[in-house]
A and B are shown apart, each in its own frame.
Chain A
Amino acid sequence: MPGAIYAEGLVKTFGDVRALDGVDFDVPEGTVLGLLGPNGAGKTTAVRVLTTLLRADSGRAEVAGLDVATQPNEVRRAIGLSGQFAAVDDYLTGRENLQMVGQLYQLPAREAKARAGDLLERFNLADAGDRTARTYSGGMRRRLDLAASLVVSPPVMFMDEPTTGLDPHNRQALWELIKELVAGGTTLLLTTQYLEEADHLADTIAVVDHGQVIARGTSDELKTRSGGDVIELVVHDRERIPEAQDILRRLGEGEPGLVAHTRRLTVPATGGAKLLAEVIRELDGRAIEIDDIGLRRPTLDDVFISLTGHSAEFDELNGAGNGNGGRDGGRDDGREKPPRGPDPGRPDPGSPGPGRTGEGPVRDDGREGGAA
């Protein structure tokens, strides 16, 4: 029996772009699927198809056992949607927004009112409940948006990049909230660009790129798939980096990656602790001082790069090794939706987000902008 969210062979094209190119997934009731992928991978399109906002060209999708194409209205009763852009009315107060959504979910007016009060309380918006939403901060707007999607505590929730643009404190708070929600039995589909977020919240992860699911599994399964461990070290003295790189190249598996401005080197390795000891001995032998060294399991970052090969594209351009230099290779989101004007909720592309376990590499957003 298909799960609470089920998709089979979804295809959606916009002009020449295949935003969805045969996407399948099956999310069992009460679990979280993380759709992980860069901007423009098709994550938002998938959410829009599943929430009845967009019709797929072909394929089939069911939410809570209801067909999104033939029973859209029933589907809408069973879902909550919290999108990338806080979908609240700026000129209504928080309370009025929630009340309106409650009534449009067909709750009686009194119930909608009571529910709005409850939600404001729970989402820490009680004090701001009677102010118009335009006076809210970004975090407050997100909370209000999320509250609006939970008015009827729908069995199936969709969250499209719920923490994009939030500061670390608000992000953490939202994660806690999402966990509580799932603990209460909600099935959730969550899209994110942040590997750490998927790692943290999702039971299963589907890595999406160019409209296709290129890998799926639990976070552990995906990490195991990339094999072995990663040795990561920080060289104290910038001039000694090439020497350290030579050592890693010799002892590790493949070309060491370098994040120049933090003097951080990484290399995949299979020899475990023994190999780590050897690296330390060699560095010591040549008197190369290091600030930090460690053996770690690959992060989803490493997995993502090995799957999508984006680092390879990036590396050819900047001549870095196989490492993490390209992990954030920015791709233009333009193909997923029509322009909506300036979005204050978008993070500064250069600012470190969650999931960037290494220090953010130098970005050049124009470089891979040809995805659309």
Chain B
Amino acid sequence: MSIDTRRAPSPPPAPAGGRITLRQNLRDSLVVAKRNLLRMLRIPETVVFGLIQPIMFVVLFAYVFGGSISIPGAGLSASAYREFLMGGIFAQTVTFATAGAAAGIAEDMQKGIIDRFRSLPMARGAVLTGRTFADLAQTAVILVVLAVVAFLVGWRIHDGPLSALAAFGLLLLLGYAFTWIGALIGLSVRTPEAATSGGLVWLFPLTFISVAFVPSENMPGWLQPVAEWNPFSATVLAVRDLFGNLPPDYRAPDVWPMQHPALASVLWSVLIIAIFRTLAVRKYQRATG
């Protein structure tokens, strides 16, 4: 073993004032994202389990509940329910990335690698942003596989590729926003195990008290506004609309987010990112020693 220190490069000089530019922030985040994607490729179990649950939900809901949930404008129709269902499943699936982000960040925080990152001249938020980028890529892959499964059970895109792309865009944005909630959870718990359950458990009420699986009209009156204002519902309805999965006679509930679901979906997602990214980055910076 020998080292030749003369040949070693010195780091480029720091920008004046040591401020980290947006460009460096993005570059560092992409470096960390690459690291996380490599990890995902080498631990493919996580991606596989990420796929099993939504596929199971598609099959269970399509065939078990299929004929027994009435859709406004279509009544009790199994095929109409399958079309209706998929927007909900898609949206639910992207939010499950929360658990992955939470567990991944909790694991990193426990290991020596976080000291390495924190002692490097890198953008502060890049460890978290990189993780959320990697989760976004994973979510995109899962969405593609899920779309194929949905196609097999009879789901179709009716409104052309542009609308469909817009729908997938809304889904990815929602999923990305939720990974920042996951990041905050991952920083707040002590173990990756706690992060996984902490990342999942609240998603069930959130996704079920929404228009994802059952139209809000079928719920008790006091629950309807909760479901209709649920950030998650806006995306579900917007996606259904963009895929053309709503029955022709469907009339959305008369509340603002249900009347303007695409806009509401974007606003909710941006709001979630703004709040949770700020909180998570602050918490990361304070998580010292």
Contacts and interface: CB of A to CB of B under 8 A. Distances in A.
B9 interface: yes
Interface in B177-223: none
Contacts of B32: 100, 104
Interface string B3-35: 111111111101000101000100110011011
A83 B120 CA distance: 13
Contacts of B9: 107, 111, 115, 152-153
A343 to B, nearest CB: 9
B288 A177 contact: no
Interface in B95-118: 110-118
Nearest to B39: A91
A88 B39 CA distance: 13
B5 A181 contact: yes
Contact of A132 (B3, B42, B288): B42
B289 A53 contact: yes
A286 interface: no
A90 B10 CA distance: 27
A140 B17 CA distance: 38
Nearest to A160: B115
Nearest to A184: B5
Nearest to B3: A122
Interface in A76-118: 76-77, 79, 81, 83, 85-89, 91-92, 96, 100-101, 103-107, 111, 115, 118
A289 interface: no
B11 A105 contact: yes
B11 A89 contact: no
A123 B9 CA distance: 17
A84 B15 CA distance: 31
B289 A148 contact: no
A130 interface: no
Given A77-B11, A86-B112, A91-B42, A184 B118 contact: no
B121 A106 contact: yes
A91 B42 CA distance: 7
Contacts of B121: 73-74, 76-77, 104-106
A124 B289 CA distance: 32
A54 B287 CA distance: 9
Interface residues of B, number: 42
B112 to A, nearest CB: 4
Contacts of A261: none
B18 A184 contact: no
B38 interface: yes
Given A152-B11, A153-B10, A177-B1, A54 B116 contact: no
A176 interface: yes
A96 B38 contact: yes
A188 interface: no
A87 B115 contact: yes
Nearest to B190: A338
Interface centre among A83, A87, A151, A338, by most chain B C-beta atoms within 10 angstroms, is: A87
Interface-central residue, A104, A111, A132, by most chain B CB under 10 Å:
A104
B3 A340 contact: no
A111 B9 CA distance: 8
A48 interface: yes
A51 B35 CA distance: 23
B288 A53 contact: yes
Interface in B272-289: 288-289
A15 interface: no
Contact of B3 (A48, A91, A181, A185): A181
A100 B1 CA distance: 22
A58 B9 CA distance: 35
Contacts of A86: 112
Given A85-B112, A106-B12, A124-B1, A101 B39 contact: no
Scoring B9, B20, B38, B120 by chain A CB atoms within 10 A of each residue's CB, the highest score goes to B120
B20 A73 contact: yes
B110 A91 contact: no
B119 A77 contact: no
B43 interface: yes
Contact of A92 (B10, B28, B38): B38
B143 to A, nearest CB: 24
A116 to B, nearest CB: 12
A180 B11 contact: no
A88 B120 contact: no
A176 B116 contact: no
B55 interface: no
Interface in A314-340: 337-338, 340
Contacts of B28: 103-104
B40 to A, nearest CB: 9
A242 B214 CA distance: 89
A83 B119 CA distance: 11
A81 B10 CA distance: 16
Contacts of B2: 122, 176-177, 180
13 contacts: A52-B118, A92-B35, A92-B38, A100-B35, A101-B116, A103-B31, A104-B120, A104-B126, A115-B9, A132-B42, A173-B1, A177-B1, A181-B5
Given A91-B39, A122-B1, A154-B11, 5 more contacts: A79-B119, A106-B12, A111-B9, A148-B116, A180-B5
Q: Which 7 A-B pairs have the closest CB atoms?
A: A153-B8, A184-B5, A85-B112, A87-B116, A87-B112, A54-B289, A76-B121
